[in-house]
Amino acid sequence: MSFQASMLAAIRNEPDFERAVLMSEWLARFLFSNACGVYRLDELEAVPAARLPLLSFPTRTDREPELHIASELYTHGGHTRLVKALISEIPANAAVLVTRPATRASLLSILGISDERLHVVDVGDARHQVEQIASVVAGYKRVVLHVHPDDVICCIALRSLRRAQVDLQVALVNHSDHTFSVGIGLADTILEISTFGWALRQSRGTEDKSSFIGIPLYSAPAADGPSVIPGMLLSAGSSYKFKPQAERSLPAVLSSVLKDIPEARLLVIGPKKIDPWWWLLKLRYRNRVAIQQRIPHADYLRQLQLANVYLDSFPITGGTAFTEALLLGCNVAGLMGASLGYGAADRLRSRDAVSFTKQIADLIDQREATLAAQREVRAAAARLHAPAAVRARLNKSCDDHVLFPPPEDFILDVPCRSFEQAWLQQRSVSAAGFRTARQARVLSVVAVRLARAFGLQAASLMPLFARAVFALVTRRGAS
């Protein structure tokens, strides 16, 4: 029996609803963390949902048109900016439900909406949270999901509403386009933000409901402010996006760039201090290289304003940052990475390190042909990614069930199996963490099945135990 089948059997046989949900959540985290070729598993939501007694909701004639649901929101990264851009295009005041406990003040600051339009789930056990979510959602005709790949509780709440015969339209924005995610089978429409996600629709079984809408991004004319620093290169992204894979290493490429372009200076935002792949580059070029950990988006924008050229992350490319930098007036350069098809700026990527270095040099030297290509793609990106245009595709997809393909000039031959292939080559599994202390209580169920399925060494049991201890010591039980 496979690990997945073994865990599903344990979930089916677990009489306690709370424990069944905890196991489902953890398995979702495992499938998200390991690109093992499983992109959809409806039973994770459906089995626990069937355990709940049928919920009852009064018939309402005053239901509002649309609610956006997110698991968590942040001051950094593209996930929250995508949510904000979509809700900004709603004619009426947007309504947002956040399914995991958080500070209202921080969420209001991030979203910029009024207090009465924000709903936040309280601390509580799984059943209590399901009931909270369902009671809010029952007041809306359509929900647009921006949920994390492991938000089983939210999906159970929506399935409970369907069982109670509440007429509800569900659209899932596929933020986690290259991984497993919950909510795929539940949704009426999958709103694809990338060609990468679109290319995996057969694997998810969503050919009849996947519609490409793209990432909504704002354009901005060059603003008065500090002048661009000649030769200043900026790259930004989550730490894991820069981790070298086999021979694909951005630090190695950048070493050649800095050697060939003496006037170049480099700032990289996002890596962790413990990431060893940056140490040699920093040691070799000293004052020409600066590595900075993650910063708020406003601070990042100030750094972008100073940059001569923005360099995309690699080998895992940025979803939002590359095209966003172009739209905000910065010239960009990037390599073909493990994932593509997130924005019109992909047309400016280089296929090898030599052409990548030349493009950077040409941008620093202000070569007209290279600058003209940037202007042309910037104009195309402004048309495709305008939040109003993305919102129009969303409405058409949901209201009329029109399924949009990606634009013809997007990169359609994306390497959609690249993450799966890399996972198969490494011959080990990643130890998915435990989101809460309460979830860490299913450690014994998880550990035994991991060891049986993958062996002690490949199953990474020591990191698994360490993450369980960390969750128990540092995280609140229902947070």
Which CATH number goes with the domain that contains 191?
3.40.50.2000
Residues 69, 204, single domain; the answer is yes
Residues 115, 55, single domain; the answer is yes
Asked if 344 and 323 count as a contact pair (C-beta separation under 8 A), the reply is: yes
Q: Which domain holds residue 173?
A: 50-216+386-400
Which pTM value belongs to this model? 0.90
Closest CA to 241 of 278, 266, 214, 271: 271
Report pLDDT for 479: 46
Residues 236, 356, single domain; the answer is yes
Residues 174, 270, single domain; the answer is no
Report pLDDT for 130: 96
Residues 25, 63, single domain; the answer is no
Length, in residues, of the chain: 479
The conformational region for residue 451 under phi > 0 = left, psi -120 to 50 = alpha, else beta, is alpha
Q: What is the 3-state secondary structure (H, E, C) of the chain?
A: CCHHHHHHHHHHHCCCHHHHHHHHHHHHHHHHHCCCCCCCCCHHHHHHHHHCCCCCCCCCCCCEEEEEEECCCCCCCHHHHHHHHHHCCCCCCCCEEECCCCCHHHHHHHHCCCHHHEEECCCCCHHHHHHHHHHHHCCEEEEEEECCCCCHHHHHHHHHHHHCCCCCEEEEECCCCCCCCCCCCCCCEEEECCHHHHHCHHHHCCCCCEEECCCCCCCCCCCCCCCCCCCEEEEECCHHHHCCECCECHHHHHHHHHHHCCCCEEEEECCCCCCHHHHHHHHHHHHHEEEECCCCHHHHHHHHHHCCEEECCCCCCCCCHHHHHHHCCCEEEEECCCCCCCCHHHHHEECCHHHHHHHHHHHHCCCHHHHHHHHHHHHHHHHHHCHHHHHHHHHHHHHHCCCCCCCCCCCCCCCCCHHHHHHHHHCCCCCCCCCCCCHHHHHHHHHHHHHHHHCCCCCCHHHHHHHHHHHHHHCCCCC
Report pLDDT for 456: 60
Residues 377, 392, single domain; the answer is no
Asked whether residue 222 is assigned to any structural domain, the reply reads no
CA 152 to chain CA mean position, Å? 17
Instruction: Please state, in angstroms and rounded to a whole number, the distance separating the CA atoms of residues 151 and 225.
Output: 42
Q: Which residues pair with 143 in a beta bridge?
A: 67, 170
Asked if 381 and 341 count as a contact pair (C-beta separation under 8 A), the reply is: no
Instruction: Please state, in angstroms and rounded to a whole number, the distance separating the CA atoms of residues 398 and 188.
Output: 8
Q: What is the pLDDT along the chain (479 residues), one digit of tens a residue?
A: 589 999 999 999 999 999 999 999 999 999 999 989 999 999 999 999 998 988 887 777 889 999 999 999 988 778 898 999 999 888 677 899 999 999 999 999 999 899 999 999 998 899 999 999 999 999 999 999 999 999 999 999 999 999 998 899 999 999 999 899 999 999 999 999 999 899 999 999 999 999 999 999 988 765 555 689 999 999 999 998 999 987 889 999 999 999 999 999 999 999 998 999 999 999 999 899 999 998 888 899 999 999 999 999 999 888 789 999 999 999 999 998 877 788 899 999 999 999 999 999 999 999 999 999 999 999 999 999 999 999 999 999 999 999 999 988 776 677 778 888 888 887 778 878 899 899 999 999 998 898 888 876 565 678 888 888 888 777 655 54
Asked whether residue 336 is assigned to any structural domain, the reply reads yes
Residues 134, 186, single domain; the answer is yes
Residues 205, 94, single domain; the answer is yes
Asked whether residue 40 is assigned to any structural domain, the reply reads no
Residues 114, 20, single domain; the answer is no
Report pLDDT for 453: 85
Q: Which two tokens stand for residue 9?
A: 């059997």
Asked whether residue 172 is assigned to any structural domain, the reply reads yes
Residues 72, 183, single domain; the answer is yes
Asked whether residue 422 is assigned to any structural domain, the reply reads no
Asked if 335 and 350 count as a contact pair (C-beta separation under 8 A), the reply is: yes
Asked whether residue 406 is assigned to any structural domain, the reply reads no
Instruction: Please state, in angstroms and rounded to a whole number, the distance separating the CA atoms of residues 331 and 314.
Output: 17
Report pLDDT for 225: 59
Q: How many domains does the chain have?
A: 3
Residue 60 CB: number of other CB atoms within 10 A?
Answer: 12
Asked whether residue 414 is assigned to any structural domain, the reply reads no
Residues 311, 259, single domain; the answer is yes
Instruction: Please state, in angstroms and rounded to a whole number, the distance separating the CA atoms of residues 175 and 198.
Output: 12
Residues 137, 197, single domain; the answer is yes
